[in-house]
Each structure stands twice: as C-alpha cells, then as structure tokens.
C-alpha cells in the first residue's frame, strides 16, 4: 500500500456498478475493502425492447425484434440517487472519500455529440430509435456481424483469430454498421460512438477517455505487449460498406486509458449530483465482468471468474497468448497489467430462469409456492434438488438469448428435448439450470483444448445464492467452485480501481489482495455425480453441434418471425 498519502483518518472510495436494470453504489474502506453502505436505483425506463414510449418519443413507436435500448438520463439518476444513499447508509463523512470508479455492461453504446450529449437528447431526435443507447443485448445487428466475419475471413484479417474467429452482433463495429446503414441521418449527426462505460466517466470528470478493456474486447483494438495498437483498417471498412471507411477516424478513435489509471477529477456538477468532494480521483471506466476479477482476488493465471446474472461473462488471465475458438477476445492487460485477459460468455442465464418462471409455469406451481411461503424460483429449486441426475429425462440448449461463446450466433434459440405428458415444471427448470452449466463446460473445455489452463472456477453475482445451481456447475465442470464474498462484486471491483486511481495502492493486483473478498472451494465436484452428468453432456453436445453448426432450422425460424412481425407492424401502421 502506498504511504505517500498517509492521513490521520480512514479513507473511502465509491464504486458504482451499472447493470442491465439498475445501478448500485457501494462505499468501501480503502484499508481493508470493508463495504460500509450501499445504494440501489432501478432505471426508470428499464430496457426498451418492444417500443419507444410516447413519454420519450411523443407518440409510441414500435421496435423490431431483437432490439434493446436504454435511456442515458437513467444512468445520471444513479449518480444522483444511489451514490448519496450509499454514503448516507455508510455513515461516513463524504469529505473522506478520495475516489470514485464505475463499471458497465458491455457492449453498450451511446451515440453522442462532440460534448457528450446523447443524441436522443438532441432536438428532433427523440423519436429516432437509433439515437438511444444500444444495450449489450441489442442483437439486431446480427446481419452486420455476419458480414464482418465473412469479409474478415475472406481477406485473412490478422485480428480475427484474436476474437475466436467470430465477431458478435453485440459489439461496437456491428452496432455501428447497423446505425450507418439503417439511419444515416442519425449516424451523420453523431460525433462519437461511445461505450457507456466511458460515457458515464465523461459525465463524472468532463473528460472523454476510452478504456483499454472495452476498446480491446468490444472495439477490435489490438495491441501486443503494451505497444500501440490499431483498429481494423479503413480499406476493410470501406469494402464492408461504401462510406463506412472513416468510421474509426470520425466516430470511434480516441485516447485510451489503462485500467486503474485516473481519467480525471470529479467536476463541480458531478460533485453536486453525488454529494462527493469536487476534485477527487475518477478512475478510467471498466466492464462489470472484468472489474469483478480483482474483487474476487482472481488476478492470477488459471482463475476463471463467472459473473452470473441475467447473462454470464467468463473472464480470466493467463501468461500465454493463444487463439481460442469462439472467445470474445484476448487483450494485453485486459483485466490486470502483465497478463493476457480472456473473455467468453453466455448471453442468457438468469434471464432464462426468469423467462420460464414468468411464462412457463402453470398456476398450480405459483399457488403451491405461495402456500409454502416461497418464491417460484425457490420452490422449483427445492423440488428439482430432490431429483436424481437424469431423472427428468430432458436435455436443453441454453440459447434463449442466442449463443455468445463458442458459436457466437444470436440467431440461435432455446430448445428442450425429451418432454412427455409426465414432464413437470420442476423437470424443465432443472434441465434449464443444467443447460447453462453445460454451456459453461463447453467454454472451459475450449480454453483447455487451446492451451489456456482453467484450474479454479469463481462465481460472482446474484445466482451464487442458489446452492443447487452452484453444485451442478461444480459437478458438470469437475472444478472446485469458489464464490466472491460480496453481494456487490462489480461495485467492489470498481472501488478497488478507484483506490488505485486515488494513489492509495500502487496497482490493481496489490489493491485486490488487500480489498478483495472470496470464499475458496465452497463447492467441490463429486465424481459419481460428475460421471452421471457426462452422459447428459454428451447429448447436449450432439444437440449443440447439430443446431449450432449443421442445420439452419433455428436461423430460419428467426427469419420467419421477423417477417411476420414486420407484416403485422405494417398492417397496424397502415
């Protein structure tokens, strides 16, 4: 710990985690990582998936399938509400806060003017869907992603293997190309195509700095061994779509800050929002998944961290650089400096369980859960836990929100095989839990097969509270499973970066050792259960390869759905 700033009183930092549906702030003591107070603020507009409401656009405007938008003012509200609430709950003097840092879902993109004003706040653009934030799970750019992948393979682009050979529809270039081709007027009005992780830092300190994490993983910016990097070339972009060749130079390229560095200091306006002292350190932005690794003290090689919520992001560091098929990317210093940071993920996990309990559960289950004084999730988990492995006779594919790794295809969809008239809700529920574990095993084995060892599995996020789910993951992967000892893992990780940016620690790794929290090997694999899961996993793999690699059935069904929705929308508007 640095002694340069030794003071007579304790110092504190604030970490703010921007999730899919809410923002969470936590006040953390710098000396030991103790979490003293939290504040949560749900986004008033949540996720806009079906329409732009009249309250925003003047008149309600329907959105096509696979869209997911958000409202940037909701993010500012988190600073005005959650941060003061966390400080109040902590009972500390705000004058002793020395830094603030944030993390964000990614890839979440904000189109802005030169001064950072989001385009949806520009006069005349509030009714234009492309002027709003495109959330990470906006998957409408799959067609653009397919063309990027095809052209990159044809041209033999050297950067493609660093992303597992496939670019996701969730990422900056696919979403940017979608904007360019679908609403050229909004594209031309845009000065910056900004990751939300960087936009919120811009709001805090008045300075726009691109963080190395999203630039490397989501923005196709590649550097080697700390050297200056580069984006895909103008020639590639122009061949992709005439006129798009200036995308990087005109809309994307900007100064890049390293993780844990100071982006600037808190402005007077942001100090008024948050109640924190003007001039304190504001750390360079980061991604919710990657920032969690230090919070779980997972800054060494072989430690895979799974941030399990609505989706799951898998991150880990390694001493070796390898090309791992279907991964989201490998970035020099993408998690901590000095190691290669890898990312993979599953686009739907908690979202799948939530969908099933909301739309797939009969009334008698809801009534029985209420009678037992339990939520539907808890009730179904208890029933499912009584089953033997394979007793339900089912196997499912966890693609209800597409596949992020290793197939990188958001045209894929969910599937449950083996249902009979004897199938009950708890059977399907357990099969869905197992499907997400099987998806994780595919990712783990792909890493290992590529020469990147995975030795420990560490879980963060709300789903770690489900003991059945955690044991299933340990048995399916045959890995000891540790859990982060914090209910606010990403926010704690951000607080760790704030402490480094404030000069309290020399680097993220040393701060993580002092401030991070983890409980080691809470769940360990049982060989008998693991062997039983091998038989189910074999069937999962057969379905995975058939529907993911061989047949186009799922993709054709998505196309049929889009056409039907377009016809209905046209008929209604006519």
Beta strands in 43-170 (DSSP E): 51-52, 61-62, 69-70, 97-104, 109-112, 133-134
Could you tell me the CA-to-CA distances from 9 to 31, 95, 187, 264 in Å, in that order?
A: 11, 11, 50, 24
Task: Transcribe 473-488 into DSSP letters.
Answer: HHHHHT--EEEES-S-
| Domains of the chain: residue spans and CATH | 12-296 (3.30.420.40)
Burial 83-93 (b: 16+ CB within 10 A, else e): bbbbbeebebe
Question: Mind listing the pLDDT tens digit for each residue in 77-86?
Answer: 999 999 999 9
pLDDT at 224: 61
Query: ω before 406 within 30° of 0 (cis)?
Result: yes
Model pLDDT for residues 493-531, shown as the tens digit of each residue: 999 999 999 999 999 999 999 999 999 999 999 999 999
Cα–Cα distance measured from residue 320 to residue 340, given in angstroms and rounded to the nearest whole number: 7
Q: Alpha-carbon distance 448 to 443, whole Å?
A: 9
What is residue 403's DSSP assignment? B
Q: What is the pLDDT of residue 1?
A: 44
CA nearest neighbour of 339 among 568, 551, 509: 509
Which element (helix H / strand E) includes 316?
A: strand 312-318
pLDDT of residue 5: 43
Please give the Cα distance from 154 to 303 (Å, whole number). Answer: 35
Instruction: Record the pTM.
Output: 0.89
Tell me whether residue 4 is exposed, middle or buried, using C-beta atoms within 10 angstroms of its C-beta: 0 to 12, 13 to 18, 19 or more.
Answer: exposed
CA torsion through residues 61, 62, 64, 67, sign: positive
pLDDT in the model for residue 229: 86
Question: What is the DSSP code string of 239-276?
Answer: HHSTTGGGHIIIII---EE-TTSEEEE--HHHHHHH-P
Angle, CA of 89, 95 and 101, to the nearest 5°: 70
Angle between helices 508-515 and 288-295 (to 10 degrees): 60
pLDDT at 6: 46
pLDDT recorded at residue 567: 84
Q: For residue 444, what is the enclosing H or E element?
A: helix 425-449
Q: Is 121 exposed, middle or buried (0-12, 13-18, 19+ CB in 10 A)?
A: middle
For residue 23, what is the enclosing H or E element? strand 22-29
Question: Which tokens is 137 given?
Answer: 């799970």
- Per-residue confidence in pLDDT tens, the chain, 574 aa: 443 344 458 999 999 999 999 999 999 999 999 999 999 999 999 999 999 999 999 999 999 999 999 999 999 999 999 999 999 999 999 999 999 999 999 999 999 999 999 999 999 999 999 999 999 999 999 999 999 999 999 999 999 998 989 899 999 999 999 999 999 999 999 999 999 999 999 999 999 999 999 999 999 998 765 446 899 999 999 999 999 999 999 999 999 999 999 999 999 999 999 999 999 999 999 999 999 999 999 999 999 999 999 899 999 999 999 999 999 999 999 999 999 999 999 999 999 999 999 999 999 999 999 999 999 999 999 999 999 999 999 999 999 999 999 999 989 999 999 999 999 999 999 999 999 999 999 999 999 999 999 999 999 999 999 999 999 999 999 999 999 999 999 999 999 999 999 999 999 999 999 999 999 999 999 999 999 999 999 999 999 999 999 999 999 999 999 899 888 765 655 5
3-state secondary structure of 550: helix
């Amino acid at each position: 710990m640095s002694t340069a700033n030794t003071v007579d009183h304790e110092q504190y930092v604030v970490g703010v985690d921007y999730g899919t549906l809410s923002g969470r702030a936590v006040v953390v003591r710098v000396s030991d990582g103790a979490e003293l107070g939290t504040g949560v603020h749900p986004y008033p507009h949540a996720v806009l998936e079906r329409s732009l409401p009249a309250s925003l656009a003047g008149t309600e405007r329907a959105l096509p399938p696979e869209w997911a938008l958000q409202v940037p003012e909701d993010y500012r509200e988190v600073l005005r509400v959650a941060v003061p609430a966390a400080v109040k709950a902590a009972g500390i003097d705000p004058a002793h806060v020395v830094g603030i840092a944030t993390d964000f879902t990614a890839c979440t993109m904000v189109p802005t003017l030169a001064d950072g004003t989001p385009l949806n706040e520009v006069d005349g653009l509030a009714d234009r869907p492309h002027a709003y934030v495109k959330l990470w799970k906006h998957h409408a750019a799959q067609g653009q992603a397919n063309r990027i992948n095809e052209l990159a393979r044809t041209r033999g682009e050297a950067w493609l293997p660093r992303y597992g050979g496939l670019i996701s529809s969730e990422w900056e270039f696919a979403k940017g190309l979608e904007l360019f081709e679908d609403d050229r007027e909004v594209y031309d009005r845009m000065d910056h195509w900004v990751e939300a992780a960087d936009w919120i830092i811009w709001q805090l300190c008045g300075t726009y700095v691109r963080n190395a994490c999203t630039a490397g993983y989501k923005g196709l910016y590649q550097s080697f061994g700390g050297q200056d990097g580069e984006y895909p070339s103008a020639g590639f972009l122009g061949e992709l779509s005439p006129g798009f060749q200036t995308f990087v130079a005109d809309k994307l390229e900007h100064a890049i800050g390293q993780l844990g560095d100071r982006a600037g200091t808190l402005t007077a306006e942001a100090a008024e929002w948050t109640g924190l002292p003007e001039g304190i350190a504001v750390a360079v932005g980061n991604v919710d998944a990657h920032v969690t690794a230090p919070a779980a003290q997972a800054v060494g090689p072989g430690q895979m961290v799974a941030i399990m919520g609505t989706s799951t992001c898998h991150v880990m560091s390694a001493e070796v650089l390898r090309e791992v098929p279907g991964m989201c990317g490998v970035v020099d210093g993408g998690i901590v400096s000095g190691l290669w940071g890898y990312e993979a993920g599953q686009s739907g996990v908690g979202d799948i369980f939530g969908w099933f309990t909301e739309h797939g559960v009969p009334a008698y289950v809801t009534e029985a859960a209420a009678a037992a004084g339990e939520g539907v999730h808890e009730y179904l988990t208890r029933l499912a836990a009584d089953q033997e492995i394979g007793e339900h006779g089912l196997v499912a594919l966890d693609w209800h929100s597409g596949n992020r790794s290793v197939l990188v295809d958001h045209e894929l969809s969910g599937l449950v095989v083996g249902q009979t008239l004897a199938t009950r809700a708890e059977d399907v529920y357990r099969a869905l839990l197992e499907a997400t574990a099987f998806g994780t095993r595919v990712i783990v084995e792909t890493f290992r097969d590529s020469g990147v060892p995975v030795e420990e599995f560490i879980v963060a996020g709300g789903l770690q509270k489900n003991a059945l789910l955690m044991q299933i993951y340990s048995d399916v992967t045959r890995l000891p499973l540790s859990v982060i000892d914090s209910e606010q893992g990403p926010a704690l990780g951000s607080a760790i970066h704030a402490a480094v940016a404030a000069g309290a620690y020399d680097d993220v790794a040393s701060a993580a050792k002092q401030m991070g929290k983890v409980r080691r090997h809470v769940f360990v694999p049982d060989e008998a259960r693991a062997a039983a899961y091998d038989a189910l996993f074999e069937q999962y793999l057969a379905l995975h390869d058939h529907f993911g690699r061989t047949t186009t059935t799922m993709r054709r069904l998505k196309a049929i759905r889009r056409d039907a929705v377009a016809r209905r929308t046209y008929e209604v508007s006519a």
